With several copies, the nearest count.
Chain A
């Protein structure tokens, strides 16, 4: 299945990109998705081990199972207001 990965703020700068398509086996979880990113090496290893993640715009646990077409955003610590 294909996941749409989004990166913002400092993560976007670290990775040099704001969006990636990530192929994952069916049944993969958020944790699997993060592991897949880290396995790419380079800047991806600089990200926090367990960053906050939003799946389809809802904050989600690493154990959540993903579905084809999900939008998964890595959320740096927020600083609004």
Chain B
């Protein structure tokens, strides 16, 4: 397994397995954060969601975010998986597992990763209310992201 480990997936996420994958005998702290599909949002009852994704870019950005977290806190026991496609209430949409010698680094890395995902991972969420009403969830315009160019030449 490469470190950090990052994936965009369509199948259900196994958070406990992800957490187990990052631990080592040298680590005194392990953390798992999971984003879960809620049954409500802004006062409305949510029945399920669908995530659209720019898959190739999201795969790269997720790896970039995890790499930045690694540089930030100096640990590479990091695993991040984001699920896309149709999800129902209670399903895990994102799981972040971090393991480190001390707790401060684990907290910092975990928080950094989820905040950056929210800011710039090219993923979009459509919520379903009741039987047929669907709406794209208001998102965040990616800003302040370094303008670097992945050339093709």
Residues of chain A having any CB pair with chain B under 8 Å: 6, 8-10, 12, 52, 54-61, 64, 67, 69-70, 73, 75-81
Contacts and interface: CB of A to CB of B under 8 A. Distances in A.
Interface of B: 35, 51-54, 56-58, 60-61, 82, 93-94, 103, 114, 117-126, 136-143, 145-153
Contacts of B119: 78
A10 B137 CA distance: 10
B152 A73 contact: no
Contacts of A56: 149-152
B54 A75 contact: yes
A73 B122 contact: yes
A80 B142 contact: no
A75 B149 contact: no
A78 B54 CA distance: 11
Contact of B120 (A6, A55, A67, A78): A78
Contacts, number: 104
B138 A75 contact: no
B149 A78 contact: no
Contacts of B136: 9-10, 76, 79
12 contacts: A6-B54, A9-B52, A10-B136, A52-B141, A54-B54, A73-B54, A77-B140, A78-B121, A78-B122, A79-B138, A80-B93, A80-B121
B126 A80 contact: no
A56 B57 CA distance: 8
B152 A77 contact: no
Nearest to A51: B141
Given A69-B152, A73-B54, A59 B140 contact: no
A59 B150 CA distance: 10
Nearest to B119: A78
Contacts of B51: 80
B122 A75 contact: yes
